[in-house]
């Protein structure tokens, strides 16, 4: 299962790089969880959660980013910023890149500025 996740993270990273974003970190781990991708969009730090769902019986991939997951992502982002003091005062946003469907033809959707840290 992790191999599928890695493949979709790589696919999302490539699509975001084609859109002009620059990769700063991948699979950044904290005690709160992992940041899949940390990217730079101009002067904005972008924390990207990549989600994949083969079936939509329990909702699409975007629906899997629950309030609890968002809280963990925000805390992980705070850790990343603390470890990267040159970027600590940067504008930040949280994006979600989703894939739904069978792996070979899953449709990707980029949800820019998907949620805010309160």
Tokens encoding 69:
């997951």
The ranges assigned to domains in the chain are 2-57+68-106
Tell me what the mean pLDDT of segment 94-104 comes to: 87
Model pLDDT, residue 57? 55
Rounded Cα gap, residues 54 and 37, in angstroms: 21
Residue 90 backbone zone (phi > 0: left; psi -120 to 50: alpha; other: beta): beta
From residue 114, how far is each of 23, 83, 89, 93, 111 by CA, in Å? 19, 24, 20, 8, 5
d(CA 63, CA 65): 5
Measured CA to CA, the distance from residue 83 to residue 57 in angstroms comes to 39
pLDDT of res. 14? 95
What are the structure tokens assigned to 34, written together? Answer: 């992992």
Q: What phi, psi does 69 have (nearest 5°)?
A: -65, -40
Q: Would you state the pLDDT for residue 84?
A: 95
37-85 tens-digit pLDDT: 999 999 999 999 999 877 665 566 676 788 899 999 999 999 999 999 9
Query: What is the reported pTM?
Result: 0.91
How do residues 16-47 score in pLDDT, each as one tens digit? 999 999 999 999 999 988 999 999 999 999 99
pLDDT at residue number 107 = 83
CATH of span 2-57+68-106: 3.40.1350.10
């Amino acid at each position: 299962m992790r191999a599928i996740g890695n493949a979709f993270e790589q696919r999302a990273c490539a699509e975001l790089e084609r859109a002009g974003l620059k990769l700063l970190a991948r699979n950044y781990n904290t005690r709160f969880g992992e940041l899949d991708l940390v990217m730079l969009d101009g002067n904005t730090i972008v924390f990207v959660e990549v989600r994949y769902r083969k079936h939509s019986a329990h909702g699409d991939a975007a629906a899997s980013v629950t309030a609890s997951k968002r809280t963990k992502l925000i805390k992980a982002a705070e850790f990343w910023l603390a470890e990267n003091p040159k970027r600590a005062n940067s504008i930040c946003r949280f994006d979600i890149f989703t894939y739904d469907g069978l792996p070979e033809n899953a449709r990707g959707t980029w949800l820019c500025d998907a949620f805010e840290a309160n």
